[in-house]
């Protein structure tokens, strides 16, 4: 077995069905055909049982849509599914796409399956689906945890205080889980199987046009979805950006970041594949490579640890630590010279020119550099009538415009703005002892160069 046992969990009591026509894999978190432990596990099981592999995806739309997802997110998702479907077909794996919830399509196709395999995400809605599938399927349901480097419970059995407490726990297991994954050839192709109703996703634009969804946020040209595009970008980053990552990743205009976050969010690339490529790179120094692995493993998996162990990770009262809520409450009566409405923020109509430019990048192109995201979030806290309202609107804007929004990273980093995973700092109005960020924090950025780059990106979107 090529999959580490810690990545494998059996979710129900049912046995595999020896009469099943195929082994079913529900793509939900890991939407890719390459470097996907859940898919490789499925192929190994199907080969052993002497049956083909069928992958399926449940597309939610209309009133049943994925929470907060809009045309921008769906366009990227569908481009990714088109790529995955093509790659699955080349490997001899069947693919069924239907307008249904993940639980519905999996439960339906499980009736003729020998075994059902799931991948794993950590948001409440994903856990809800996994629970429903485990309860409804009359056949064994196995879950494979392939979108983190170190399986979540292996790293830690509790909510971690900060990166410094999770880091040693991750490091202890890093080498064991940073392993290549060899593709297993499919022994029994699915080409001849009749799988019933399915949507042809080879023209993702046509599928998008037929969906009922929020079209007020447009798809972007800056990022094209799919595992091939994710790999192309990774290679470009390793060849060019990585050598500047250690020294220049704090400067948005330096283009030293990898832009992997939309692809990671939609499961179009594996974090293990990325970390292995960065470690094997002959560009950059050890410091560049270590700095990158720190972000993609420790910081990213800290976010998953937070949402997994925090009920109500999307609410101020439950996501923000007690010390931070107390100090913010103590400052609640402080005079706020500048308060903006959510519309003024979304439209970038504040007095702060740099903030407005960053907001334009986010609104028009679906992305913003990490350094500016921190400044962006801290200013919304400063310019909102209450911390509770600031938290809620930061999360709404984050999840509406970012392609990588609605992720464990989104909920965790918005809560970071309000003190999560941080410590008390010097006392100030409005913030109390929650970390403040002044315009001075932008001093190392070449603001003019950043503004030129954003203007060019926005023009390209409108062209």
Ligand X SMILES: Cc1cc2nc3c(=O)[nH]c(=O)nc-3n(C[C@H](O)[C@H](O)[C@H](O)COP(=O)(O)OP(=O)(O)OC[C@H]3O[C@@H](n4cnc5c(N)ncnc54)[C@H](O)[C@@H]3O)c2cc1C
Of 226, 405, 419, 432, the one binding ligand X by CB under 6 A = 405
Residue 64 · residue 27 · CB < 8 Å: no
Of 417, 430, 445, 454, the one binding ligand X by CB under 6 A = 417
Of 34, 377, 419, 432, the one binding ligand X by CB under 6 A = 377
Residue 316 · residue 386 · CB < 8 Å: no
401 touches ligand X by CB under 6 A:
no
Could you tell me what percentage of the chain is helix, strand and coil, using 3-state DSSP and rounding each to the nearest 5? 50, 10, 40
SS3 (DSSP) at 113: strand
By beta-carbon proximity to ligand X, the closer residue of 24 and 264 is 264
Q: Which stretch binds ligand X (CB under 6 A): 81-89, 312-320, 408-416, 447-455?
A: 408-416
Of 96, 296, 304, 445, the one binding ligand X by CB under 6 A = 296
CA angle 13-19-25, nearest 5°? 65
402 touches ligand X by CB under 6 A:
yes
260 touches ligand X by CB under 6 A:
yes
Distance (Å, whole) CA 9 – CA 389: 39
Distance (Å, whole) CA 70 – CA 396: 12
Residues from 300 through 339 that contact ligand X (CB under 6 A): 300, 303
Beta-strand relationship, 141-144 and 8-10: antiparallel
Of 373, 379, 421, 435, the one binding ligand X by CB under 6 A = 373
259 touches ligand X by CB under 6 A:
yes
**Among 129, 108, 134, which residue's Cα sits nearest to residue 11?**
134
Burial (CB count within 10 angstroms: exposed 0-12, middle 13-18, buried 19+), residue 391: buried
Tell me how far, at minimum, the Cβ of 263 lies from ligand X, in Å.
8
264 touches ligand X by CB under 6 A:
yes
Task: With CB under 6 A as the rule, give the number of residues binding ligand X.
Answer: 28
Burial (CB count within 10 angstroms: exposed 0-12, middle 13-18, buried 19+), residue 116: buried
Q: Any alpha helices (H) in 237-270, and if so which ranges?
A: 242-248, 261-265
Tell me how far, at minimum, the Cβ of 323 lies from ligand X, in Å.
20
By beta-carbon proximity to ligand X, the closer residue of 22 and 367 is 367
Of 21, 99, 249, 379, the one binding ligand X by CB under 6 A = 249
414 touches ligand X by CB under 6 A:
yes
Of 24, 133, 257, 397, the one binding ligand X by CB under 6 A = 257
By beta-carbon proximity to ligand X, the closer residue of 17 and 410 is 410
Of 413, 415, 422, 432, the one binding ligand X by CB under 6 A = 413
How many other CB atoms are there within 10 angstroms of residue 344's CB atom? 12
Rg of the chain on CA atoms, in Å: 22
H or E segment and range at residue 112 = none
Tell me how far, at minimum, the Cβ of 185 lies from ligand X, in Å.
31
Q: Rounded to the nearest 10 degrees, what angle do helices 271-280 and 227-236 cross at?
A: 20
Residue 303 · residue 413 · CB < 8 Å: yes
By beta-carbon proximity to ligand X, the closer residue of 325 and 378 is 378
Residue 120 · residue 145 · CB < 8 Å: yes
Residues from 5 through 44 that contact ligand X (CB under 6 A): none
Beta-strand relationship, 113-118 and 94-99: unpaired
By beta-carbon proximity to ligand X, the closer residue of 25 and 76 is 76
Q: Which stretch binds ligand X (CB under 6 A): 39-47, 315-323, 328-336, 407-415?
A: 407-415
Distance (Å, whole) CA 380 – CA 404: 19
295 touches ligand X by CB under 6 A:
yes
Tell me how far, at minimum, the Cβ of 369 lies from ligand X, in Å.
6
145 touches ligand X by CB under 6 A:
no
Any bridge partners for residue 55, and if so which? 25, 95
By beta-carbon proximity to ligand X, the closer residue of 249 and 435 is 249
Tokens of 18: 């020896």
Of 17, 87, 365, 398, the one binding ligand X by CB under 6 A = 398
By beta-carbon proximity to ligand X, the closer residue of 116 and 397 is 397
Scored b (16 or more CB within 10 A) or e, 121-133 reads: bbbeebeebbebb
Residues from 178 through 197 that contact ligand X (CB under 6 A): none
Tell me how far, at minimum, the Cβ of 230 lies from ligand X, in Å.
11
Q: Which stretch binds ligand X (CB under 6 A): 59-67, 95-103, 400-408, 422-430?
A: 400-408
404 touches ligand X by CB under 6 A:
yes
Residue labelled with tokens 């392939």: 146
**Among 151, 109, 116, 123, which residue's Cα sits nearest to residue 45?**
116
By beta-carbon proximity to ligand X, the closer residue of 108 and 382 is 382
Residue ranges in contact with ligand X by CB under 6 A? 249, 257-261, 264-265, 295-296, 299-300, 303, 369-370, 373-374, 377, 398, 402, 404-405, 407, 409-410, 413-414, 417
């Amino acid at each position: 077995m090529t999959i580490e046992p810690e990545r494998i969990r059996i979710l129900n009591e049912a046995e595999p069905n020896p009469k099943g026509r195929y082994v079913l894999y529900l793509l939900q978190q890991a939407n890719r055909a390459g470097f996907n432990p859940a898919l490789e596990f499925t192929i190994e099981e199907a080969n052993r049982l002497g049956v083909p592999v069928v992958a399926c995806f449940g597309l939610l739309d209309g009133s049943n849509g994925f929470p907060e997802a809009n045309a921008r997110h769906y366009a990227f998702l569908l481009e990714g599914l088109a790529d995955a479907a093509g790659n699955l077909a080349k490997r001899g794996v069947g693919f069924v796409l239907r307008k249904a919830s993940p639980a519905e399509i999996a439960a339906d196709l499980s009736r003729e399956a020998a075994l059902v395999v799931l991948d794993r995400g950590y948001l409440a809605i994903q856990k809800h689906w996994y629970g429903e599938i485990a309860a409804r399927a009359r056949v064994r349901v196995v879950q494979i945890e392939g979108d983190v480097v170190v399986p979540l419970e292996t790293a830690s059995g509790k909510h971690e205080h900060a990166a410094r407490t999770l880091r040693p726990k991750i490091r202890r297991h890093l080498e064991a889980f940073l392993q290549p994954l060899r593709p297993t050839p499919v022994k029994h192709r699915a080409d001849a199987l009749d799988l019933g109703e399915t949507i042809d996703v080879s023209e993702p634009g046509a599928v998008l046009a037929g969906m009922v969804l929020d079209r007020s946020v447009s798809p972007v040209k800056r990022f094209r979805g799919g595992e091939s595009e994710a790999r192309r970008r990774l290679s470009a980053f390793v060849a060019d950006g990585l050598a500047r990552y250690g020294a220049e990743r704090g400067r948005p205009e330096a283009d030293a970041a990898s832009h992997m976050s939309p692809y990671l969010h939609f499961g179009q690339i594996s974090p293990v594949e990325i970390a292995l490529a960065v470690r094997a790179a002959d560009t950059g120094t050890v410091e560049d490579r270590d700095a990158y692995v720190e972000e993609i493993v420790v910081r990213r998996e800290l976010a998953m640890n937070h949402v997994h162990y925090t009920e109500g990770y999307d609410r101020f009262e439950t996501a923000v630590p007690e010390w931070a809520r107390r100090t913010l409450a103590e400052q609640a009566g402080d005079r706020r010279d500048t308060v903006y409405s959510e519309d003024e923020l979304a439209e970038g109509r504040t007095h702060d020119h740099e903030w407005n430019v960053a907001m334009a990048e986010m609104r028009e192109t679906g992305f913003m550099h990490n350094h500016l995201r921190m400044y962006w979030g801290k200013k919304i806290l400063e310019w909102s009538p209450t911390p509770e309202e600031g938290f809620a609107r930061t999360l709404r804007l984050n999840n509406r415009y970012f392609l990588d929004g609605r992720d464990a990273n989104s909920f965790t980093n918005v809560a970071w703005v309000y003190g999560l995973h941080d410590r008390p700092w010097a006392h100030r109005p409005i913030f109390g002892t929650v970390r403040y960020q002044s315009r001075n924090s932008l001093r190392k950025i070449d603001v003019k160069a950043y503004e030129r780059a954003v203007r060019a990106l926005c023009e390209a979107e409108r062209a």
